[in-house]
Structure 1
């Protein structure tokens, strides 16, 4: 398991972002030590964090990211990415 600081380095997400993602229930730590409130993440969390980083890079909002993360089959992912692509093309 990884502490927040270690996990931040591994994923490229800041500690503040990880705390925020936990607050909005996008990426919860797998364990919080009751003695010191340290948050810990595991390898499964790593994959989810990478996905969240990519989704954010594609311009998805927090709400859109929640939709993707709550849909374990990722059926909405393609539609959201196509919508983002269209928005980018319009902006260009």
Structure 2
């Protein structure tokens, strides 16, 4: 069992993030000491914490992460990640189009000089 500070260190998730994830039901501590309310995590929590960190890095919202964690078999995880990938690809395309519009606008201003 790992205290929250140890678990935070090995997972890269802050103690505040771990507390928040517990609050919203994403990652519950394996045990909470009833006397001092210290939170303890186990090896099973480690995989889930790494997955949550990765999903957050991919830009998943808390609601999307809750949906992933609600599907304990993770059967739809690949579909959700592929959907997120497609959304990011669309955002990149939209930003590239905006850059092209900015460049064209700047160029048109230079041509008038």
**Structure 2 unaligned blocks of 5 or more:** 93-113
Runs of 4+ in structure 1 off by over 4 angstroms are none
TM-score by length of 2: 0.78
**Max Rg structure:** 2
Give 1:22's aligned residue.
22
* More helix by percentage: 2
Given the alignment of the two structures, is residue 8 of structure 1 paired with residue 26 of structure 2, yes or no?
no
Q: Which residue is 1:62 aligned to?
A: 62
Aligned-residue RMSD, C-alpha: 0.8
Greater Cα offset, 63-72 or 18-27: 63-72
Q: How many corresponding residue pairs? A: 92
Which of 1 and 2 has higher RCO (CA within 8 Å, sep 6+)?
A: 1
Q: Which residue does the alignment assign to 1:86?
A: 86
Where 1:40 maps in the other structure, the secondary structure is: strand
